């Protein structure tokens, strides 16, 4: 399988794992839904765990690129971008097929702190925190690290509640809380 086919397999496996979960999505289903034989899949991924890690890396890259771009499109100041994050999340919550955060799902299915999948999921949150900290510094928040953590907690809470309630309301509610914190 070429690198292009490998990348295509990862792209096609991502929605399967997002929709069905990691444990429930077997390699037979991956082969069936992607049109790639199990033999070919295992030529590039020795284990299902390796495929999951590749899918999480792609999702991380796609999600952060999308989120940061939307934040920049919606606001031109650091503080405005922090608030615009919740508007972007609201857009995501309204998308057909929205089912919450793939990284939260991964951490829930692979709960051991030593599990590479759990670690990959948490790394996504750490990368978001780095970006939020930079924005908080640029916005001249009194304690940028603490404010960034609070923005991350609001973001994560909104994502979980939107998935559980099947509503986009948590985005606006989290934004209102963020406005008070940033005031």
Q: Has residue 120 been placed in a domain?
A: yes
Helix axes 102-109, 48-74, angle to 10 degrees: 150
Distances (CA, A) of 40 to 3, 21, 29, 43: 12, 22, 14, 5
Residue 7 lies in a domain: no
14 lies in a domain?
no
Question: How many other CB atoms sit within 10 Å of the CB of residue 69?
Answer: 11
Residues 108-131 pLDDT 10s: 999 999 999 999 999 999 999 999
The residue segments making up the domain with residue 57 are 53-182
Does 168 fall in a domain?
A: yes
Position 147 scores a pLDDT of 98
Residue 110 lies in a domain: yes
User: Within a 10 A sphere around the Cβ of 153, how many other Cβ atoms?
Assistant: 12
Q: What is the DSSP string of 166-182?
A: T-SHHHHHHHHHHHHHH
Spatial separation of the C-alpha atoms in residues 79 and 99, rounded to whole Å: 28
Q: How far apart are CA 86 and CA 153, in angstroms?
A: 12
Residue 98 covered by a domain:
yes
Domain total of the chain: 1
Evaluate whether residue 30 is within a structural domain. no
CATH number where 124 lies: 1.10.357.10
What confidence score (pLDDT) does residue 55 get?
98
- pLDDT per residue as tens digits for the range 55-81: 999 999 999 999 999 999 999 999 999
Nearest CA-CA partner of 22 in 90, 110, 152, 87: 110
Eight-state DSSP code of residue 183 = -
Query: pLDDT (tens digit, 9 = 90+) per residue, 134-164?
Result: 999 999 999 999 999 999 999 999 999 999 9
For the chain, how big is the Rg over CA atoms in Å? 18
Flag whether 85 is in a domain: yes
In terms of Cα–Cα distance, which of 181, 99, 106 is closest to 141? 181
């Amino acid at each position: 399988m070429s690198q292009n086919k490998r990348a295509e397999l990862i792209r096609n496996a991502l929605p399967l794992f997002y929709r069905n979960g990691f444990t429930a999505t077997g390699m037979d289903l991956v082969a069936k839904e992607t049109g790639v034989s199990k033999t070919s899949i295992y030529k590039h991924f020795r284990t299902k765990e390796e495929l999951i890690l590749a899918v999480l890396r792609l999702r991380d890259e796609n999600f952060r690129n999308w989120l940061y771009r939307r934040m920049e499109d919606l606001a031109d100041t650091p503080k405005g971008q922090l608030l615009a994050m919740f508007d972007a999340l609201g857009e995501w919550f309204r998308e057909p097929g929205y089912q919450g955060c793939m990284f939260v799902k991964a951490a829930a299915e692979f709960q051991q702190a030593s599990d590479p999948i759990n670690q990959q999921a948490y790394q996504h949150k750490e990368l978001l925190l780095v970006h939020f900290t930079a924005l908080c510094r640029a916005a001249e928040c009194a304690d940028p690290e603490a404010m960034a953590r609070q923005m991350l907690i609001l973001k994560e809470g909104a994502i979980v509640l939107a998935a559980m309630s099947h509503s986009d309301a948590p985005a606006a509610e989290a934004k209102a809380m963020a406005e008070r914190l940033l005031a």
